[in-house]
Amino acid sequence: MEVRVANVRKEFDRFPALHDVSLDIKSGELIALLGPSGSGKTTLLRLIAGLERPTRGNIFFGDEDASHKSIQDRNVGFVFQHYALFRHMTVADNIGFGLKVRHGPSRPPAQEIRRRASELLDLVQLSGLEKRYPAQLSGGQRQRVALARAMAIEPKVLLLDEPFGALDAQVRRELRRWLREIHDATGHTTVFVTHDQEEALELADRVVVMSQGRIEQVGTADDIYDTPNSPFVYGFIGESSSLPVKVENGEIWLADRPIGLAAPNEPSGDATLYFRPHDVELLDGCSGCIAGTVAASRRVAGTRRVELEIGGERQRVEIELPVDHPAAHKSRVAFRPGRWKLFPAS
């Protein structure tokens, strides 16, 4: 099922949580809504589910305008951040709940509901736990039951709010891979919210980066990481360093020196240069480069991260050096960014 969010605005007590957001989700796609807290990602998910009504704009399921349909009529599977399992019901009853509350002929007989619950438990690899209560399950198991319960109603769209947020790192990684497998097997259109970029980039077909109630960028992991289209995305996804620079006649200047980067299409004036700390070319001499003195250095896994003080303003930037690089405290290092991007000075 395709989902189209068209110019949706949402206000809570006059405070806008989403400004004019539009997003097309393709059928069968696995999409991540990624952003810091307060970016509006959960609000967008709840709007798609029908747990909130948009202040303006529409949400389409396929060609049908679902904006004013209730959550019951939208037929979405929603997995809540804290699972919201019914604690007084067994695992099987939890999973069968969505079928049990149906009316008339669409409601399967009790035996069929039990069979379906067992099937779904097999799918989420929890066979045999039918009679357990939620309190008797681990966090990861509850997560799986919540997913099985959401899938029991054969939803058109599967929505997950911070699905792995409450789990420890080991379980998270396991469940992440497992969710991908389930998605590939069942082919549900799936949207999940996360603040963990690693999770979003690894798991999703496309990532929607959000900030302050707006969508900053939509793209595959490669798009988002390699060509961020705003300072926010540069700063939020992966590591980044920035320097205030000037553009003059298509060349980039740092204070009074050109740094050997050409920007022929950029307008002259103040700008901010963004690059990745690991994507730099180290230079020996310095005619047309960025040079600074090492102010701090720390070992990060397989590399060394150093902080350089640059120029008279003592602007600090971070770059990565090989561990065997001889640079010590106060020594001078010259480099030029590999892949970089200019944004107008803020």
Partner 1 sequence: MADPEIKSYEQHHESRSPAVTESRPAQAVLMAIVFAFLGIFLLLPLIIVFHEALAKGVSAYTQSLSDADTRSAIRLTLLVAAISVPLNIVFGISAAWAIAKFEFKGKAFLTTLIDLPFSVSPVISGLVYVLLFGAQGLLGGWLKAHGIVILFAVPGIVLATVFVTFPFVARELIPLMQEQGNGDEEAALSLGANGWQTFWYVTLPNVKWGLLYGVLLCNARAMGEFGAVSVVSGHIRGLTNTMPLHVEILYNEYNAVGAFAVASLLAGLALVTLVLKTLLEMRYGAEIAATRGH
Q: Contacting partner 1 (CB under 8 A), which of 8, 129, 150, 221? A: 150
| Residue found by looking up tokens 């740092």 in the block | 254
User: Does 88 contact partner 1 by CB under 8 A?
Assistant: yes
Q: Residue-wise over 301-333: b if at least 16 C-beta within 10 A, else e?
A: eeebbbbbbbeeeebebbbbbeeeeebeeeeeb
How do beta strands 269-275 and 3-12 pair? Answer: unpaired
Q: Which of 135, 185, 301, 328 binds partner 1 (CB under 8 A)?
A: 135
């789990």: which residue's tokens? 167
Residue 168, interface with partner 1 (CB under 8 A)?
yes
Q: Which stretch binds partner 1 (CB under 8 A): 118-126, 161-169, 216-224, 258-266?
A: 161-169
Which token pair is 252? 């980039």
Q: How far apart are CA 48 and CA 43, in angstroms?
A: 9
The answer to the question of residue 102 lying near partner 1 (CB under 8 A) is yes
Q: 305 - beta bridge partners?
A: 298, 320
Asked if 153 interacts with partner 1 (CB under 8 A), we say yes
Instruction: Confirm or reject binding of residue 178 to partner 1 (CB under 8 A).
Output: no
Query: x/- site string to partner 1, residues 33 to 52, per CB under 8 A?
Result: ----------------x-x-
Stretch that binds partner 1, among 160-168, 197-205, 232-240, 299-307 (CB under 8 A): 160-168
**What distance in Å separates the CA atoms of residue 176 and residue 199, rounded to the nearest whole number?**
7
Q: Does 125 bind partner 1 (CB under 8 A)?
A: no
The pair phi, psi for residue 67, each rounded to 5°, is -55, -35
Among 86, 177, 331, 339, binds partner 1 (CB under 8 A): 86
Q: 172 vs 183, which CB is nearer to partner 1?
A: 172
What SS3 state is found at 106? helix
The Cα 317–Cα 306 span in angstroms is 8
Contact residue for partner 1 among 22, 127, 138, 220 (CB under 8 A): 138
* 156 touching partner 1, by CB under 8 A: no
- Asked if 231 is part of the footprint of partner 1 (rule: CB under 8 A), the reply reads no
Q: In 122-240, at which residue ranges do the beta strands (DSSP E only) sit?
A: 157-161, 189-194, 206-211, 214-219
Among 1, 171, 310, 327, indicate the residue that binds partner 1 (CB under 8 A).
171
Among 1, 2, 19, 80, binds partner 1 (CB under 8 A): 80
CA–CA dist 43, 15 (Å, integer): 13
Whichever of 80 and 253 has its CB closer to partner 1, that residue is: 80
Q: List interacting residues with partner 1 (CB under 8 A).
A: 49, 51, 70-72, 75-78, 80, 82, 84-88, 97-98, 101-102, 135, 138-141, 149-150, 152-153, 166-168, 171
